[in-house]
Structure 1
């Protein structure tokens, strides 16, 4: 009997090729019956949410390995977002799939570990002078995430490659959150 991870692997491959694919296609790719698939995932939404949860766990593990406590904090934020982008290499369908709407509590729980890492880096950066100390931490978190989501939308729409999005984030994030100089420019060195 296939385990849930094997089904998720098959689903990731199928949905990368055909984001609108149904459970019958996933079951066929996994070499199991739909009944067996339904035993693990009672709906397409449940399967998609399991894939998103798996990707989130991978992102958190990559973030924890990104050594966010060293170097300038604005660059640590870029490393953090790059770790997130790497999840698209493992599950590229995530860029092209509309996820099932998750309940607000589940969505908060999914993002909590990532937001906590972001928050720590922003606070460190404000303390060390790499990030604008006058800006609200919550606003900086929201703005950083929004820039990351905007890059994702550009890739999804085919206007940028993933590498172009990462390159844009490397430039944009330090400019967005850096400490303003007397002339109004950020002093992040980019």
Structure 2
């Protein structure tokens, strides 16, 4: 067996290929977000042109439209999770930090609204929810902490409240996209609506 180390030129070429592939993937995912239309129809040729790659390269990385949508959506939720990781979700009073979470994350959802609409047309609801679980897990943990502290209502299932928060944030994004609500107002409206729903019938708990 030949135990000689790989040729340095070959190793460098391999690294360049990996770097090129990573750049192409990033460009394709960026183009997917930009090209995603509101009617849910995704044009693979347009994405390849905007990304500056051939259709062959596009399909080499993402063999199907579903694979591309899944990767783009997964990255969108990962970006949302990275934004939320900077918030004191585990330590700050739940009723104080939740409005900040809403104002922060709905804007990321708004930027990716068309992508989500396209994914909704091609991917089953269970798959969409699985991608969202990265973010919804943080929301669930925060709401659970608020229920335990007595600041959020406990007369409704936790999972229902989590889904309601998620739905209302998407509604805020839709209102902005359809020009029914200004972007600088939608976040505050979503936050006020969600907080009103979560605290309805719940006595105030100072310092919770």
TM-score by length of 1: 0.79
Distance between the aligned counterparts of 1:173 and 1:188, measured in 2?
18
Distance between the aligned counterparts of 1:188 and 1:16, measured in 2?
45
**Runs of at least 4 residues of structure 1 off by over 6 A?**
16-19
1:60-105 C-alpha deviation (Å, 9 max, x unpaired): 122222211243313322222333223247546437x432432344
Match of 1:48 in 2: 69
1:143 paired residue among 164, 182, 185:
164
Q: Larger RCO: Structure 1 or Structure 2 (Cα < 8 Å, ≥ 6 residues apart)?
A: 2
Written as runs of structure 1 = structure 2, the 5 A alignment for 1:92-171 is 93-94=114-115, 97-99=117-119, 100-171=121-192
The structure whose Rg is larger is: 2
Question: Structure 2: which 5+ runs fail to align?
Answer: 1-19
Question: Structure 1: which 5+ runs fail to align?
Answer: none
How many residues align? The count is: 184
Distance between the aligned counterparts of 2:60 and 2:135, measured in 1?
31
Q: Are residues 132 and 17 of structure 1, via their aligned partners in 2, closer, same or farther at CA, if it must alter by over 3 Å?
A: closer
Q: Are residues 157 and 5 of structure 1, via their aligned partners in 2, closer, same or farther at CA, if it must alter by over 3 Å?
A: same
